[in-house]
Amino acid sequence: MFIIAFFSPDKERTYPEHQQGTRNNFLKALEEHLSRNRLSQAGPFVVGQRVTYADLVIYQICHDEQLVQNGRAGLKEYPRSVKLVDAVEGRPNIKAFLNSERYLG
C-alpha cells in the first residue's frame, strides 16, 4: 500500500491517508504479534533470538516509512517494534553499512 500511496499522482492526499490508516493498522498488528507470540517474546526478532528474512523486511518497511529515523519517533507507540529495529540495526554488517559512506539513507 505504501508504494501505491507514495507514488500516486495524488500523493498529497493518498500518502497522508495511508499514514493514518493502513500504516497504523500494520504497526498495531505487528506490535500485537511481537508482544504476544511465544516465539517473538523469546528475543528481539520475530522468532526470538534468530534473525530471519521477515525481520529484514519489517525493518525495511519501517525505514522506508521514515519510522526509524529521529530517535525512532515514528515508533514511539510501538516499543516491541523498536526492540526489533534496534536488534536489526545492531547486527554487525548492517551497523557497518548504515555507518558507511555508501549508505544514503
Among the listed residues 53, 84, 102, the one whose alpha carbon sits nearest the alpha carbon of residue 72: 84
Is 93 a domain residue?
yes
Name the domain count of the chain. Answer: 1
Q: Per residue in 61-96, pLDDT tens?
A: 999 888 999 999 999 999 999 999 999 999 999 999
C-alpha cell at 81: 517494534
Is 22 a domain residue?
yes
Q: Which residue range forms the structural domain that includes residue 52?
A: 15-98
The CATH number linked to 64 is 1.20.1050
Provide the whole-model pTM: 0.86
Is 5 a domain residue?
no
Is 104 a domain residue?
no
Dihedral class, residue 48 (left if φ above 0, else alpha if ψ from -120 to 50, else beta):
left
Cβ–Cβ < 8 Å for 26, 34? no
Is 9 a domain residue?
no
pLDDT of amino acid 16? 76
Q: Per residue in 2-60, pLDDT tens?
A: 677 667 777 778 777 777 888 899 999 999 999 999 999 999 999 999 999 999 999 99
Is 23 a domain residue?
yes
Is 48 a domain residue?
yes
